[in-house]
Amino acid sequence: MRRRSQFVLNAVTILSSFAGISHAQTHPDATAPPTWSHQIAPILYSKCTTCHHPGGAGPFSLLTYEDARRWSTQILTVTQSRFMPPWLPEPGYGDFADNRRLSAEDLANIKRWASAGMPEGIRAEAPAPPKYTSEWQLGLPDLILTAPESFTVPADGQDLFRNFVYPVNVTRTRYVRAIEILPGNARVVHHANILIDRTAELRRQHPSDWRAGIPGMGLEIGSGDRFDPDSHFLFWKPDTPAVIEPPGMPWRLDPGNDLILNTHLKPTGRVETVQPRIGLYFTDTPPARAPMLLQLEHDAVLNIPAGDSHFVVEDELRLPIAVYALGIYPHAHYLGKQLEAWSIAPDGKRTPLILIKDWDIDRQSVYNYRKPLLLPAGSVLHMRYVYDNSAANPRNPANPPVRVRNGNRSTDEMGHLWLQVLPVHAVERNSSGAETDSRMLLERAWMEHRLTRDPNDSLAAYNVASLDTMSGNPAGAIAIYRKLATAAPKDTRIATSLAAAEEQNGDWQSALDTYRHALSLDANYTDARYDLATLELRHEQYDAAAADYRTLLQQHPDDAAAHAGLGTALAQLQQPDAGRTEFDRALVLDPAQPDALTNYASLELAESNPQHAQELLTKAVAAGAHDAATYQQLALADQQTQHPAEAEVALRSAIAADPSDPTSHSLLAQSLAARGDLVGAIAEQQAALRINQKDADGWSNLGVLHAQSGQPAEARNDFERALAIDPQHAQARANLQRLNNGAAKQ
Ligand code: HEC
């Protein structure tokens, strides 16, 4: 390795001397040596001191002239050899933000400064040194999570990989715009990845030992039942303490989620204890754009013979849609040598994504493109990793070399390439005009690619089934889940997904049985219990629903949605006071809980408390409930509290929300009639009847409006239509009689 660096040094020397000549020709005084104050401090402050400051990841500080002088010989050596600053990507293969690579001019300046005896220049003209803090860089976080227990790193020995588990306990969905990690000692925690465990799966798998953290280099974590692909690189290393998301792209944190901090720990020569803290910074604005992480790999072929110095692993993936590449994260362990990725567009144009010629796991990083890279639809992503399992690889952990296979221990190998992409169009329309989340098309292409390689890839099959459910093909999903369930009869997650697909397929009785079966496998599986309770509620099994919500609440006493569900069931079971208690509790936990607001309002309307119903519904609308049913209820509450004008506004909103709902039109007709606008009322009643012509009441009401506005012929016709639909319609019959009597009298 050192020899290679030497070679680079020579090349750079030639380059810099050329730069020196051209400089001298244009600037007569360019022969004056660079000084700390003018040329060197700016280089070190932008490329070195993020690590080389007191308490930072570097072994010493380079903040002052005296520091730099003390280390100048080493600085010269390590910069010319490009050992420092740590930066793996080759120039010309992807243009990355925060590029740390020193320019030829920087290198020339450092060299000339050192040979001129490291002049300081005029101290007063030096830039102010950057400030670093060992506390939170972005100020006090909105939420601080502390690892439940500390972990002791021995003074020496191998690197360790530890997964700290953090239950989050938010009571409503939050959007995270930035994170920071305070590991304790920046020199121990080498880097860390945050994983979002949507279903607290890891904690459930380790009920007795999760608090101490779980060993392992990498983890696979499911995302629960909904389409929720990983979307962000939550990758942290000591010199970038805050991971800030681009505007409009916060990530979601829901009640019941855990965060897992996957850390790479390095012994420092002293026994150290670490108890990392995660700081979360929230925003109230939900994401406007949804990126997604795609992965290339071919772990199945990672089986490297001892001594093989050129073992190649490749993968490729065709993009069904156009995307922007935002960032890239190549990952291998100690045998990875040359890591490369590129994309070929349908017209043959090649876009380099990254090239690392001398991979070093200790210097791994996420690289974000300075400008999003457009990859047209039909582009094929390629990855090509070369491994060196010979004794000549100085990083080979085994001496003599041994056969190495795929796995997540540090003595195993890995070959993963993650690409963060943003679909150019958030949704894609098919030939019949139906819209699909573009990320689903990417996910399907990815998973189907995995299945063509390995038809027994159960994770890929599971994901394809989930995509089927979400794109309205529950029958396809059921077939896949059944097959998976036969192979893994004790898997609660598969049983739960099968139940959801059955429910979507209209077979809710089977779904009830399947959910109950899932819960017989694992009574604590929250997703299954929650879906079951909701299904029972929808099918008027109120006692069963109440029991299941109560079980949920024993496990999660602060789950606002479960309190709202229980409140709804109790209201239906004619226990209004018990229902109120639950709704109140839900709204304390989450003042915008949508079911609590609307179902509480229904209860209050039924219990003749329109005032309170009106308050609740106004909040529901403010919280984003813009559906016709909510506006209709609000109109009802407005009417009952003697606010006819507001009721009319609410009904017009209901119509705007869903113009095809006849109820909104007929309610508006009644409201207009009540304030004497018969023309308007007739128009609305007719609109309602155009949508639903079989509504005998509607025809009868239209007849009354026509009669009131002096149009007896139309009125007669309306009453007859009502009676044609329902010959027993008493009102229509009586009205028709009255009309005929009136006509006879005249
Ligand atoms: C990402 C953090 C980081 C940055 C940025 C960084 N260093 Fe370092 N530096 C380290 C670490 C960590 C070490 C200890 C050796 C190692 O682990 O690679 C180190 C070691 C050194 C050494 C001692 C080398 C030896 O042979 O022991 C020097 C000199 C040095 N750095 C100079 C610099 C200079 C000059 C820059 C900027 C041009 C810089 N570093 C940028 C993290 C950094």
Over the stretch 75-93, which tens digit does the pLDDT of each residue have?
A: 999 999 999 999 999 999 9
Biggest CA–CA distance in the chain, Å, is 121
Residue 78, ligand 1, Cβ within 6 A = yes
Residue 2: the pLDDT is 29
Residue 59, ligand 1, Cβ within 6 A = yes
The pair of structure tokens assigned to 124 is: 């007063």
**Residue of 732 and 9 predicted with greater confidence:** 732
Smallest CA-to-CA distance from 666 within 699, 688, 693 is with 688
Question: Confidence class of residue 227 from pLDDT cuts 50, 70 and 90?
Answer: low
Q: Which of 22-26, 164-168, 313-317, 338-342 has the lowest mean pLDDT?
A: 22-26
* Dist. CA 76 → ligand 1 center (Å): 12
Question: Confidence class of residue 9 from pLDDT cuts 50, 70 and 90?
Answer: very low
* Dist. CA 315 → ligand 1 center (Å): 34
Question: Would the pLDDT of 13 be above 60?
Answer: no
Protein residue with least CA distance to atom 13, ligand 1:
58
Smallest CA-to-CA distance from 194 within 151, 232, 143, 247 is with 232
Residue 47, ligand 1, Cβ within 6 A = yes
Q: What percent of the chain clears pLDDT 70, i.e. is strictly above it?
A: 94
Which CA distances in Å does 342 have to 27, 161, 328, 337, 445?
Answer: 41, 30, 11, 17, 18
* Dist. CA 61 → ligand 1 center (Å): 10
Residue 82, ligand 1, Cβ within 6 A = no
Question: Confidence class of residue 12 from pLDDT cuts 50, 70 and 90?
Answer: very low
Protein residue with least CA distance to atom 31, ligand 1:
84
Which CA distances in Å does 683 have to 477, 708, 711?
Answer: 46, 14, 14
Question: Would the pLDDT of 606 be above 80?
Answer: yes
Question: Confidence class of residue 746 from pLDDT cuts 50, 70 and 90?
Answer: very low
* Dist. CA 85 → ligand 1 center (Å): 6
* pLDDT tens track for 37-68: 999 999 999 999 999 998 888 899 999 999 99
Residue 241, ligand 1, Cβ within 6 A = no
Residue 50, ligand 1, Cβ within 6 A = yes
Question: Confidence class of residue 30 from pLDDT cuts 50, 70 and 90?
Answer: low
Question: Would the pLDDT of 375 be above 90?
Answer: yes
Residue 15: the pLDDT is 27
Question: Confidence class of residue 226 from pLDDT cuts 50, 70 and 90?
Answer: low
* Dist. CA 72 → ligand 1 center (Å): 12
* Dist. CA 713 → ligand 1 center (Å): 95
**Residue of 493 and 536 predicted with greater confidence:** 536
Residue 42, ligand 1, Cβ within 6 A = no
Residue 71, ligand 1, Cβ within 6 A = yes
- The number of the ligand 1 atom at minimal distance from the alpha carbon of 43 is 38
Q: Which of 208-222, 624-638, 730-744 has the lowest mean pLDDT?
A: 208-222
Residue 107, ligand 1, Cβ within 6 A = no
CB 263 within 8 A of CB 163: yes
Residue 98: the pLDDT is 86
61 Cα distance to chain centroid: 37
Residue 8: the pLDDT is 29
* Dist. CA 137 → ligand 1 center (Å): 22
Mean pLDDT of the chain: 90
User: For the residues 562-578, what does the mean pLDDT come to?
Assistant: 97
Query: For a pocket test of ligand 1, which of 52, 61, 118, 360 has the largest count of ligand atoms closer than 8 A to its C-beta?
Result: 52
Buried b (16+ CB within 10 A) or exposed e, 248-280: ebbbbbebbbbbbbbbbbebeeeebebebbbbb
Residue 175 CB-density burial (10 A; 0-12 exposed, 13-18 middle, 19+ buried):
middle
Q: Which of 142-146, 182-186, 203-207, 265-269 has the lowest mean pLDDT?
A: 182-186
* pLDDT tens track for 99-140: 999 999 999 999 999 999 999 999 999 999 999 887 898 999
